[in-house]
Structure 1
């Protein structure tokens, strides 16, 4: 579904990604992991067209999308849950969801307002509240729900549970479990090794903008030194 190869991205004269490569197949959950400042968010931004790569290839369902504007990439079926949530603070929960509604899947839409509010009971309870009246965890749920309202073929989550309380994190992992069971393809950035190993099919670890390890959850669980080497402080 998604193939990234040889991706180089820079901000001015400062190069961040060096030959970045990863793949996400239909129905797969794949993680992108690494310490802070290693290029995870830049990779997501490069895929989504928010930061233009210098070179390399980003193909979605066989189509080259590197260099396309971000709105065109989103229309192809990529749904982004950005770092920092970036919900609309002066719109209600309901308005945040309706504003992004669409169907970018190849079949009947799975997600509409009723289905999303059923999947996120906290949002249903606060449907009339403004975005800036929500807690951090509720805002993250809204960001996920907003992306689902586009009925994406591939969901990208940048820092899925960063800074959230344990109970909220557990709710979000439960939601991602259900999405995977329904066949939703997901690329997720996070640091929770235990949750990611349980949820994901494959993992890509980067250090200083380069891929340093990739493999399955079984391979990652079998060698704890990998996580210590590339994720430990």
Structure 2
């Protein structure tokens, strides 16, 4: 899948693609999904800085735009963050508003099932599989590695494998769960390189999948086998 970067000569088309994907996803869902997506689209079209991937807007302003109370804003923003559609780039402090960004890849992955409703041209333009980052080292997958079972990591694995089987086999299948404490899911990689590479390239995707499986998950830590 092509990752939308709404900059450059084709920026306008990419923006419309993102909004079209959200629209199709909303229309295929119930009224709760439609309302949530509409509210996100309102933020994108009125306050989102495409060039900098920044959304800076206080809860009071959001409440006024959405015609709701601030309690509703807090609830829906928590839902959008849990989905991975909205991410906190810089936490607000001393009365300042947090700087938010969009989880563009996550949004496109989650709306993919509805792309065909827009048309084959859209599917062709936005489709394909997410590229596996280039590396001169092939990740090591132990022979007979245990497949993911039940629990948080098992559910996360099923989601990751469904999104991109090749990426899952290359980098996620060899990870195993070492436990979860204080909202931190600890995963074990077979080698130090594997742990470093996954942490450097895919930690956001892992956190998104894990938090969907268990909303209490707030962070994912990768360490290599034998590491204390």
Structure ranking higher in helix proportion: 2
Shorter chain as denominator, the TM-score bin is 0.3 to 0.5
* Rg comparison, structure with higher value: 2
Give me the TM-score of the superposition, normalised by structure 2: 0.34
